[in-house]
Amino acid sequence: MHVIIIGTGHAGINAASIMRQNSDEIDITMVSEDRFPPYPRPSIYKIILGKSPSQIFRYPENWYDKNNINLLLGHCVIKIRCQKKSIICADKSELKYDKLLIATGSKPFIPPIPGIRDGPLYCLRNIDDALAIREKAERSTTGKATILGGGLLSVELAKTLSDIDIQPTIIDRSPYLLRKQLDPEGGQFLNRLLDKTFDTSFIFNTISEQIIRKNDEEVKIELRDHSGLWTHECDFLCNATGVRNDNTLPRDAGITIGEYAIVVNPFMQTNIPDVYAAGDAVNIDSFPGSKFGIIPTAVDQAKIAAINILGTRVPYTGTLPWTTLKIAGIDLTSIGDIELGPGIEEKGIIRDFQQRIYQKLFFKEGKIQGAILIGSKINVHQIKTLIIHHEKWEVVKNELNLEE
């Protein structure tokens, strides 16, 4: 059996290694438009800091030969011929498969701001993007960068840029950072902590109305907030406003696309026989509780896709969203569902600005379903287990030694 995997990101490489761990018999080919062998995406900040690409590769380059995995890099797949069971690459080469896994991920979202595409715009998705940012930082005239978006990627990028003496400013339309990981109160708590420690300027509650460029070196951003219209200047503009799926490849092949991405059943199969999908390329709506665009989801789905491709029928039952990061020395963890709404209770709250600790646990129908922890990692694994087991407040309170 010949399995082709399109994409060498977190989903693609995990699927390949699980398949190889479980079978010596199958042929595996991985095809990627990326020119570098697989690497963890969170490591690409290190490239901006000066590391060479090979320092962040997931495996040594001979790992692929040793594991009999054919790695085709720099190959963009432009067509899937489901009838003929083959894929076509941009160089016109055609490869036949018995089973196909689409793990093509997502692409940076470019917000429709007038002028945004009129000059250089630095997005961060792969090593080449990181090399471009590093090169621009080295020849920056004013040393001032602006990052659109206030999510995880923006915060990490801002920290990285400030480490190489670039002054970053984050602009976001929301009132606080990390909206996907924090509730409004946790967001404000983090803002206050960062104001004291992080060499980054924040512009919140502000809409970018227009980008005006005098030349490649001078960027003016027209901003609107409650006080009216004003201008912010920098010499390079980064965009980290989220990701979107480019569904052209699967759609043209007759694969069903949902609201955002490829629709799969719990066995990670698409509507086309022998064609599977995993990771950011998959529409997450069919799996309540799971979150799109994070590594744990891509890894879990890749594992399930690999096992099913090998012939054992195991369903994907979802992924507990889990993000941990350290910003400017502050530990931050967000686990499970932290959305506020009807029937959601907040308990176990700690707000201690002196100790730099914030904790909030979220309960639905009396059972723990999510948690935010800022400033401490001590209870993270315990809380994760409590969430997995949907424990009630009494159990959580006793386990974590909390007060009513």
Q: Please give the residue ranges that form the binding site for ligand FAD (CB under 6 A).
A: 6-12, 31-34, 41-42, 44, 76-77, 103-105, 124-125, 153, 249, 279-281, 293-296, 298, 323
Are 182 and 191 in contact by the 8 Å Cβ rule? The answer is no
Shortest CB 176 distance to ligand FAD, Å? 19
Helix locations, 84-166, DSSP H:
127-138, 152-163
Cα–Cα distance, 176 to 188 (Å, whole number): 6
Shorter beta-carbon distance to ligand FAD: residue 47 or 361: 47
Helix locations, 255-374, DSSP H:
295-309
Shortest CB 293 distance to ligand FAD, Å? 5
Shortest CB 351 distance to ligand FAD, Å? 26
Look up residue 191 and give its two tokens: 């803002």
Residue 224, classified by CB atoms within 10 Å of its CB into exposed (0-12), middle (13-18) or buried (19+), is middle
CA distances from 28 to 5, 31, 98, 129 (A): 8, 10, 10, 28
Residue found by looking up tokens 């979107």 in the block: 244
At a CB cut-off of 8 Å and minimum separation 6, what does 75 contact?
31, 32, 33, 89, 90, 91, 93
Shorter beta-carbon distance to ligand FAD: residue 149 or 348: 149
| Interaxial angle between packed helices 295-309 and 10-22, expressed in degrees from 0 to 180 and rounded to the nearest 10 | 40
Shorter beta-carbon distance to ligand FAD: residue 38 or 348: 38
Shortest CB 210 distance to ligand FAD, Å? 26
Cα–Cα distance, 186 to 194 (Å, whole number): 12
Shorter beta-carbon distance to ligand FAD: residue 183 or 280: 280
Shortest CB 99 distance to ligand FAD, Å? 17
> Taking CB positions, which residue lies at the least distance from ligand FAD?
9
Shortest CB 32 distance to ligand FAD, Å? 4
Shorter beta-carbon distance to ligand FAD: residue 87 or 221: 87
Shorter beta-carbon distance to ligand FAD: residue 201 or 323: 323
Shortest CB 230 distance to ligand FAD, Å? 30
Shorter beta-carbon distance to ligand FAD: residue 86 or 323: 323
Look up residue 275 and give its two tokens: 């064609």
